[in-house]
Structure 1
Amino acid sequence: MSGQSDKSAIVFGGSGGLGAGCVRALARDWPVIGIVYHNGRERAEALASDLPEGCRGLPVQCDTTNSASVRAAVEAVVAQGGQLGCAVYSAGIAIDQPYISEISEDQWRAVFEAETIGFTRMLSVVLPMFRAQSGGNIVAVTSMANTRVIIGDTISAAPKAAIEALCRGIAKEEGKYGIRANTVAPGAMNSGLGEQYMAERWTPQFWEGFRKSIPLRRFGLAEDIGEAAAFFASDRASYLTGQTLIVDGGYTL
């Protein structure tokens, strides 16, 4: 393990496809990881039991639309795992891919509430902790659709664009306290919602054409995102802050 060996990490959305990839990758460097879930208790518990020796997973229920719930989740991990060194945000809600003209105010509100405002709720808890201990880092999972526009994906991309802006602001404002903030932007993924889309939407021919449009000729896996998040969360990235790493096989080129 690296210099995080005496601290804990927390992953919001840790029971989801990409979040679980982050948990598994972080397990190499962090001795305790809070696996925050909303409805995926069984998945979080199964993941916790499957982590390698030397890393303890702590399943914690949380509703990111509720400030008290977010605070309680963070405090539960600190109480059981000790000082918090890293917070990863991969939480989100299941959404369709409507045109912007078709999105209702309630739909916009639901996505921003769970994702963007949920992220700010986490920040309000962890930033004071990180300041007090003179260090800590934040990693958010966002979207490559902020770089290359995908028709129908704006309802997902817009709240994540706000999260990227927040991370750049944190990098600028909090760097003097030893706090870093970076984002990982997935491309087309064969995990999480991406896996569901591939199974339920459009034709196999569509997805084969999409795959061939990616320079590396494959869809991304949860571990691809996990590896990027674990790098940002580690001492190996100690001089990186305010950055977005696009993990998309070259699709946005």
Structure 2
Amino acid sequence: MQDGAVLVIGGSGGLGEAICRRMPLDWPAMAFTYFGNAAKADALKSDLPAECRVEAMRVDTRSETDVAAAIAHADAMPGGLRSIVYASGAPILQPYVSQIDQDQWLRVVEIELLGFTRLVRLSIPVLRKNGGGSFVSVVSFANYWFPPGDAISAVPKAGIEVLTRAVAKEEGRYGIRGNSVAPGIIDAGLGHSLQDKVHTPEVWAQQKKRVPLRRFGEGAEIAEAVAFLASDRASYITGQTIIVDGGLRL
């Protein structure tokens, strides 16, 4: 088991939920955040192992007050805050660049990228105080293999990925690591929703054939990569991105 607590931002989303279900295997304490679905967050909390102390908090990443409160709450758990997972995201579809208006850009950038900047700025002093820790950001494989229509999702996450590397470079001297996980097409959360709302089943079947493993990923497979990077098992890994896409970008 790790020492201290892990904070998962966006824990009630599809990938966030899978991450929250995996983390109690490594951590004695976990705080996770949600935004719009308190009932789902409560159900998730009640379904997690009793051996892990779990707290759920409503957080709007656009609010510095909310983000600061989540960090303070997690740091007050036994052992203090030692790891932060950023899995927060805005609900989006897949418009082409020519179809995205300024308000759409501003909304996604404010929730995702600027939300992460708030989290980083407010949590670095806490992790320094605690003798180090880790950031893991969930980004996008579109930064490496771009599918049309993914710009509004990929552009903010590219910024998150770069900022995570900046944390790794600048904060390593304080024992703080920063890494990212880039999911491919995952049958959970937004990936699952897009399969229902965008394109035909035939298009998705053809896309699946392009994946060397001939299937889409599962949320639990993303969670395993996140859990590894968050833990001391990855103690000498920082500034890296693990692409979990079944080989799609090859």
TM-score, normalised on structure 1?
0.96
1:115 alignment counterpart: 112
1:252 alignment counterpart: 249
Alignment of 1:63-212 (within 5 A): 63-212=60-209
Amino acid corresponding to residue 9 of structure 2 in structure 1: F
Q: Contact (CA 8 Å) 1:137, 1:179: kept in 2 or not?
A: yes
Amino acid corresponding to residue 103 of structure 2 in structure 1: D
User: What secondary structure does 1:250 align onto?
Assistant: coil
2:225 alignment counterpart: 228
CA deviation digits over 1:121-159, x for unaligned, max 9? 111121001112221100000000000011010110000
Structure 1 stretch 46-55 or stretch 220-229: which is displaced more? 46-55
Q: Contact (CA 8 Å) 2:164, 2:179: kept in 1 or not?
A: yes
Gaps of 5+ in 2: none
Using the TM superposition, give the Cα deviation of residue 80 of structure 1 relative to its aligned residue in structure 2, in angstroms.
4.0
In 1, Cα distance between equivalents of 2:208 and 2:78: 41
Q: How many residues align?
A: 250
Among 55, 58, 66, the residue aligned to 2:55:
58
TM-score, normalised on structure 2?
0.97
In 1, Cα distance between equivalents of 2:26 and 2:88: 21
User: What secondary structure does 1:25 align onto?
Assistant: helix
2:28 alignment counterpart: 31
Q: Contact (CA 8 Å) 2:82, 2:130: kept in 1 or not?
A: no
Using the TM superposition, give the Cα deviation of residue 183 of structure 1 relative to its aligned residue in structure 2, in angstroms.
0.3
1:237 alignment counterpart: 234
In 2, Cα distance between equivalents of 1:138 and 1:80: 18
In 1, Cα distance between equivalents of 2:37 and 2:172: 34
Q: Are 1:17 and 2:19 counterparts?
A: no
Gaps of 5+ in 1: none
Amino acid corresponding to residue 169 of structure 1 in structure 2: A
Amino acid corresponding to residue 241 of structure 1 in structure 2: T
Using the TM superposition, give the Cα deviation of residue 75 of structure 1 relative to its aligned residue in structure 2, in angstroms.
1.2
Q: Contact (CA 8 Å) 1:48, 1:56: kept in 2 or not?
A: no
Q: Are 1:218 and 2:230 counterparts?
A: no
In 2, Cα distance between equivalents of 1:224 and 1:123: 25
Structure 1 stretch 123-132 or stretch 144-153: which is displaced more? 123-132
Percent sequence identity over aligned pairs: 48
In 2, Cα distance between equivalents of 1:66 and 1:234: 28
User: What secondary structure does 1:27 align onto?
Assistant: helix
